[in-house]
Amino acid sequence: MKTMSRSQQNMLKAVHLIAAGLWLSSVIIIAVMPYVSIDIISGDALYMYNRIFHFIDMKILTPAAVVTLITGLLYSLFTRWGFFKHGWLIYKWAATLAIVLSGTFYLGPMVTRNLEISNLKRLAALQDPVYLHGLTVGGWASGINTLLLGLAVVFSIYKPWKKKNG
């Protein structure tokens, strides 16, 4: 297996950490956005809330998650860490893949659907069961994703379940 030089590893680690930080920050922002929006009283404000939410999700969070996934893949392929040598790495892969797949196939489309509903119905979107379901699921998902990603950061620092002799 070809390995990276120390300089290449450091550059990859820097990109990985910046992307992971953006990803976690975006998830935290999305998690607190509903608390900021409790005073929305107009359809235009509700639509703008959903536009901002959609923008953060699609233009910041998603690219950051993809870069984190790709740099993690490169790190596993071209360094001594590998994919399954340590329990903390297995956790990071499982959490990353679960979040990316659920975001790609369920949460992302749901955020887009909520944006479309709020654009069409404005304030009446707050009576739409599909829209309300999206808000509920989005709230839970952002909380769970914050926890999962926060743990990934903590595990990256403390490296629990590290293989002996490794």
For 107-160, how does the pLDDT look when each residue is reduced to its tens digit (9 = 90+)? 999 999 999 999 999 999 999 999 999 999 999 999 999 999 999 999 999 999
Asked, for residue 93, whether it belongs to a domain, the answer is yes
Residue 163 lies in a domain: no
Q: Is residue 19 part of a domain?
A: yes
Q: How confident is the model at residue 165 (pLDDT cuts 50, 70, 90)?
A: low
- Domain extent, residue 29, equals 6-158
Q: How many CA atoms lie within 13 A of 135 on its CB side?
A: 19
Read off the tokens for 146: 């914050």
Q: 101, 112 in Cβ contact below 8 A? A: no
Count of the separate structural domains present in the chain: 1
User: Does the residue 88 lie in any domain?
Assistant: yes
2/122: higher pLDDT = 122
Say which DSSP state 164 is in: T
Give domain status of residue 154, yes or no.
Answer: yes
**Domain presence at residue 68:** yes
Look at residue 166 and tell me if it is in a domain: no
* Cβ(122)–Cβ(55) below 8 Å: no
Q: Is residue 165 part of a domain?
A: no
Query: 118: helix, coil or strand?
Result: helix
- CA 2 → CA 9, 79, 82, 83, 158, distances in Å? 12, 8, 12, 15, 27
